[in-house]
Each structure stands twice: as structure tokens, then as C-alpha cells.
Amino acid sequence: WLTAAGTEAYLSRKLANPEYTKGLDAAQERADEAGMPRIAVPETLGQMLAVLLKSMRAERVLEIGTLAGISTHYLATALPAHGQIDTIEASPEHAKVAQANFLALDTCPFPTTHVGQALKLLRDPNGAFKEPPGTVEGLPEPGYDLAFVDANKDEYFQYFKECMRLVRKGGVIVFDNAIRNGRIAVPDGIKVDSDCVGLRELYDWIEKDAGKTVLASAIQTVGDKSWDGFAIVYKL
Ligand code: DHB
Ligand code: MG
């Protein structure tokens, strides 16, 4: 019984908060029926993100990579009803499943799903991400409180740069899958896998920044999937 997967199941059982987890089994079934990969965030990470959002009294969230909307549901549920959550999904089929899940789960605030290639949408000079939210309303500190990045691993560094533009000072960017079985830390001279190139660019950038504009951490995890983890970047 001494396994990471068994322990993950134990923790999920013990820590599940019904406000967040109610209906998620059916949501995962919708994803399974649509043939989607079983790579949604585990309950433990979903609720960790919720703890983070609650503790910073977040109202505005950006997610890159919706998949079936399970992470989106955790993120939204941690926001006040008047909050805002924008989520970006490249696959129209996945976005449809996510939409069905948000309706079935009664996700509140209801997420706005943007369907398309994340970088194209984020960089569209006339698009929804032209400027940080709140700029128009003239709030003192425009921008998302938190961005959760969980999309194309090859593009993580480009996502980071867009998130640094869209997240407010004092906001947070969380990257899922930031460890990749330790393949991020290949020694010099060994070929870097494509899913690690962007992460390494991110870690190189943070090293060079030397604490001037960000404060960051990365935590390795084991669990129901494999050895991976998340990175968390605070915008100073
Ligand atoms: C993969 C993607 C994910 O977002 C994840 O959490 C786990 C695995 C993947 O593409 O392999
Ligand atoms: Mg992921």
C-alpha cells in the first residue's frame, strides 16, 4: 500500500471539499467519453490553487489550457461571485466538453472560454487580452490576480511573458507540469526534450532576473500521474 498513487487517493478522500469537488466525477466521465487524456489536475492541486486564490482575495483569473474545465472549476469556485475567469483552449472539442461541465457543475463565476491558439489570442492587438483586465474601468491596479498555465509545454516561456504583461504586481503565475520527471534538469551536453525547453527558458530567465522582478519557487510532486510538479512565480 506504500505507493504515491495510493497516498494521493487517500489525501483526495480526506481533503475533498464538496463545494469544489461535487460533480467532478461526472465531469471527468464526460472527458473520458470524449476520449480526452486523463491529465486533469488532481484534487490536491485544485484545492491548493483555491487556497492560494482565497488567501490573496483574488477576483480575476486567467487560465491557459482548459481541457475539460476541471481546473477551471476549482479556480472559479475560489472567486467571489462577481469575479472573472478567462480560460483559453485550443481544441473546440475540448472546449465543448468544458462548457458542458461548467453548466452541469453550475460553475460560479461562469468561466469565459476563449477557443483558439493561446499565443495567437493573447497577442491579438484587437483581442480580449489586448490589455490587462481592469485597465478600462480605471482600477488602481489592473491585471489578473493569478494566471494558471497548463497548456502546450513547448510554449511555456512565451506564456510566461504574456502572463507577466497581464498579471498585476503582487499577482501570481502558476505553471503545471514544471518538473517533467526531472527531465528539466538535464546536465550540459545532453539534448533537452522539447517539452522542457520552454521551462528551462523560464528557469534561466528567473536566474538572470536575480530577484529583481519576480520571486519564484518550484515544488516537485509525486501522485496519481508521475514525478512532476508546479512552479509558482510572484510578480514583484
Ligand atoms: C501532460 C500534460 C499535462 O497538463 C499534465 O498535467 C500531465 C501530462 C502531457 O501532455 O503529457
Ligand atoms: Mg497539467
Could you identify the atom of ligand 1 that is nearest to the CA of residue 41? 6
Check pocket membership of 150 for ligand 1, CB cut-off 6 A.
yes
Chunked mean pLDDT (size 10), the chain, 236 residues: 93 98 98 96 97 97 98 98 98 98 98 98 97 79 96 98 98 98 94 97 98 98 89 98
So where are the chain's domains? 4-235
C-alpha cell at 196: 522542457
* pLDDT in the model for residue 13: 97
Q: What is the topology classification, in CATH, of domain 4-235?
A: Rossmann fold (3.40.50)
| Distance from Cα 233 to the centre of ligand 1, integer Å | 20
> What is the sign of the dihedral through the CA atoms of 107, 76, 128 and 135?
positive
**Shortest-distance Cα residue to atom 1 of ligand 1:** 39
Ligand with smallest separation from the Cα of 226: 1
Q: How far is the CA of 77 from the centre of ligand 1 (A)?
A: 23
User: From ligand 2's centre to the CA of 28, what distance in Å?
Assistant: 15
ipTM value for the complex: 0.97
Cα–chain center distance at 132:
17
Q: What is the pLDDT of residue 226?
A: 87
Tell me what pLDDT residue 223 has. Answer: 82
- Give the three cell numbers for residue 111: 468561466
Residue 177 Cβ inside 6 Å of ligand 1? The answer reads yes
Q: What is the model's pLDDT at position 139?
A: 67
* Torsion from C-alpha of 59, 64, 67, 72, nearest 10 degrees: -10
CA distance linking residue 124 with residue 197, whole number of Å: 24
Q: 225 CA to middle of ligand 1, Å?
A: 9
Residue owning the nearest CA to atom 4 of ligand 1: 150
